[in-house]
Amino acid sequence: MRVAIAGAGTAGCVLAARLSADPGIEVLLLESGPHYRAGAWPPELAHAFRIIKETHDWGFTAQAGASPRGVHVPRGQVVGGSSITNATIALRGLPEHYDDWAEFVPGLDWQAMLPWLRFIETDEQFGGAPYHGDHGPIPINRWPRDQWYPLLEGFAEAALARGHAWVDDHNAPGAVGVGPTPFNMRDGVRQTPADLYLDPALGRDNLTLVTGVRVDRLVLDGMRATGVVVLDEATGERTMHEADHVILCLGTYQSPPVLLRSGVGPADAITPLGIPLVHELPGVGRGMQDHPKISYRFWISTDIPQWPHPWIQVLLTSKAEVNGEERLFQVMPYVGFVDGGHRISEFNVQVADSRGRTGRVDIQSTNPMDQPVLRMGWLEAEGDRDLAEAAGRELMAVARTAPLDAVLDPWPNLDDPDHALRTVETFHHPVATLRMGRDDDPMAVTDGDGRIRGLDGVWCMDASVIPRVPSANTHLAVIALAEKLGAGFLGSTGHPAAAVAPDPD
Ligand SMILES: Cc1cc2nc3c(=O)[nH]c(=O)nc-3n(C[C@H](O)[C@H](O)[C@H](O)COP(=O)(O)OP(=O)(O)OC[C@H]3O[C@@H](n4cnc5c(N)ncnc54)[C@H](O)[C@@H]3O)c2cc1C
């Protein structure tokens, strides 16, 4: 059996390793960005806690939503994808938001996902807890409190003084409060599916990684996939790779365009571009969800000491009542930096329990080298703006509480009633552009196994299929779901021997 995996990002690396464990499967892994072996990464990539936007990034601009502002929405262009450029924050989110997945795929809930979330991790502080793993590939750890940056310690003390609960482990089911941020790193070096899954598998004869190629479209015989067409980014030459199955893992912004260029999706997004409509699937690229982020900047009235440890260490999660419902938000304080002579600290508020579904992905042409058309829809959903504003008010209250009040002065424009709407950006967690759903759901693009509805041999197993954004950063959810869907794929295609599964306990 020949399987082409389009995209060697977070999900693609997991799947390439798992599927190629069966010598009966020929795996071809197709990626635009370069490959670096672990240990040979450029220094800016290896460094955990740094978001990379300047290099190895697709450079996409999106329309914010209610306002027509153009906003940079980064995505990693490198083997490892966004897991190589992200901030290595390793959070799961609250169980109830995974339970919401079952509205779309019966049975796919927290109880179904927890074994996979445990399976992928070695939690170095809490691995013995029943809801954690202690022998999975991804190491998770937190900075001890005696190594916290003084400003972040001040933030935690002020939050506790405001009545927020202390949380040792933000990944414990139901944990809400202030405490150390968990990371997927070891000794300050990021730990990702590229080095932990893919690199050890690359010696296998049945796994081929091809970089520097742009995945263009599917080759379909009727409704059945027979291969995939790629463009060599250096020469412009097109190649067709035959495959029995194509698994899309190009990420939330880039998996839908491959279907659209193949004539699969909403007719009004395809036919105006002169592409023949092969299979009408109205949900392709529609209903994107993301976490809106609003930044609040403060002047710091003390010196910023040099500190050997990273700039994110502490996280506050809390709930605010919006329209009679308790909804979750995050506040993430950043260590100060100096800009234009001012010492500045930035606090980011994340609308964690976001209900937005108006984001969308389109294509502007048939050329795979053109960037997708991205409209984010931030703060358009009922209550999302209220939640953002409530989170901002709580952040300001913490900032005015001792001991933080002694060192922070808010920037004057924070009282602007439109601050959230004017400054909203991505917290980098887009999902649901090829959303899973039931047979009777007209906007469902994938089924609960990741199959594209109505096609044979075409799958998606990346963040695009997640039916509802978890109430936390999405990296762990993407890895756990890729593991689960990969195991299902192996079973359903008659290769169960290579499928791995969590321990029954
Ligand atoms: C800047 C940033 C910071 C983030 N911070 C965090 C964090 O701290 N914690 C957290 O939990 N989550 C974070 N996230 C989110 C998390 O990293 C993503 O949800 C996750 O990595 C998505 O995985 P994926 O497999 O869907 O896509 P990706 O990992 O993005 O993989 C897609 C791959 O496909 C390739 N590709 C795309 N189109 C083509 C094409 N046409 N042809 C060939 N190759 C192509 C890309 O180069 C990439 O390698 C962050 C994301 C970003 C971008």
pLDDT digits (tens, 9 = 90+) for 269-282: 999 999 999 999 99
Structure tokens at 215: 């995945």
Residue 302 has pLDDT above 90, yes or no: no
Do strands 264-265 and 325-333 pair parallel, antiparallel, or not at all (unpaired)? unpaired
- CA–CA distance, 291 with 329 (Å, rounded to integer): 10
Q: Which residue has the higher pLDDT, 185 or 336?
A: 185
**Shortest-distance Cα residue to atom 16 of ligand 1:** 475
Between the CA of residue 171 and those of 91, 132, 149, 177, what are the distances in Å? Answer: 6, 8, 22, 11
Give distance in angstroms: CA of 430 to centre of ligand 1: 10
- Identify the CATH number of the domain defined by range 143-180+292-353+380-423: 3.30.410.40
- CA–CA distance, 103 with 468 (Å, rounded to integer): 10
Q: How confident is the model at residue 505 (pLDDT cuts 50, 70, 90)?
A: low
Q: How confident is the model at residue 306 (pLDDT cuts 50, 70, 90)?
A: low
**Shortest-distance Cα residue to atom 50 of ligand 1:** 86
Query: Under 8 Å CB-to-CB from 454, ≥6 apart: which residues?
Result: 223, 279, 281
Residue spans per domain, the chain: 1-142+183-287+431-505, 143-180+292-353+380-423
Q: What confidence tens digit (pLDDT) does each residue in 105-145 have? A: 999 999 999 999 999 999 999 999 999 999 999 999 999 99
Quote the pLDDT of residue 504: 65
Report the pocket of ligand 1 as residue ranges, CB < 6 Å. Answer: 7-12, 30-33, 51, 74-77, 81-83, 85-89, 214-215, 249-251, 254, 368, 428-429, 462-463, 473-476, 478
The closest-lying atom of ligand 1 relative to the alpha carbon of residue 252 is 26
Give distance in angstroms: CA of 240 to centre of ligand 1: 25
Give distance in angstroms: CA of 326 to centre of ligand 1: 30
Between the CA of residue 208 and those of 56, 197, 211, what are the distances in Å? Answer: 22, 14, 10
Q: How confident is the model at residue 340 (pLDDT cuts 50, 70, 90)?
A: confident
Quote the pLDDT of residue 304: 66
**Shortest-distance Cα residue to atom 48 of ligand 1:** 81
The closest-lying atom of ligand 1 relative to the alpha carbon of residue 79 is 49
Q: How confident is the model at residue 307 (pLDDT cuts 50, 70, 90)?
A: low
**Shortest-distance Cα residue to atom 3 of ligand 1:** 86
Give distance in angstroms: CA of 375 to centre of ligand 1: 18
Residue 378 has pLDDT above 80, yes or no: yes
The closest-lying atom of ligand 1 relative to the alpha carbon of residue 474 is 11
Give distance in angstroms: CA of 221 to centre of ligand 1: 30
Give distance in angstroms: CA of 481 to centre of ligand 1: 14
Between the CA of residue 236 and those of 67, 213, 241, what are the distances in Å? Answer: 37, 9, 16
In one letter, which amino acid is 458? V
Q: Which residue has the higher pLDDT, 422 or 49?
A: 422
In one letter, which amino acid is 262? S
Instruction: Provide, rounded to the nearest whole percent, the portion of the chain with pLDDT above 90.
Output: 83
Residue to mutate (ligand 1; options 71, 247, 330, 475; most atoms within 8 A of CB): 475
**Shortest-distance Cα residue to atom 39 of ligand 1:** 250
Q: What confidence tens digit (pLDDT) does each residue in 342-361 have? A: 778 889 999 999 999 999 99
Give distance in angstroms: CA of 93 to centre of ligand 1: 18
Give distance in angstroms: CA of 418 to centre of ligand 1: 30
Cis amide bond preceding 180, omega within 30: no
Neighbours of 268 (CB within 10 A): 11
Q: Which residue has the higher pLDDT, 68 or 427?
A: 427
- CA–CA distance, 328 with 221 (Å, rounded to integer): 46
**Shortest-distance Cα residue to atom 27 of ligand 1:** 251
Distance of CA 392 to the CA centre of its chain: 23
Do strands 245-248 and 458-460 pair parallel, antiparallel, or not at all (unpaired)? parallel
pTM of the model: 0.97
Closest of 7, 78, 91, 96 to residue 40, by C-alpha: 78
Closest of 96, 85, 106, 101 to residue 34, by C-alpha: 85
Give distance in angstroms: CA of 60 to centre of ligand 1: 13
Quote the pLDDT of residue 51: 78
Residue 439 has pLDDT above 70, yes or no: yes
Give distance in angstroms: CA of 75 to centre of ligand 1: 5
Quote the pLDDT of residue 68: 73
Q: Which CATH class is domain 1-142+183-287+431-505?
A: alpha beta
Residue 308 has pLDDT above 70, yes or no: no
Longest dimension (CA), the chain: 68
Residue to mutate (ligand 1; options 117, 250, 261; most atoms within 8 A of CB): 250
Give distance in angstroms: CA of 186 to centre of ligand 1: 20
Residue 177 has pLDDT above 70, yes or no: yes
Q: Which residue has the higher pLDDT, 302 or 33?
A: 33
Q: Which residue has the higher pLDDT, 292 or 499?
A: 292
Q: Which residue has the tokens 């980011």?
A: 348
* Axis crossing angle, helix 10-19 with helix 475-492, rounded to the nearest 10: 30
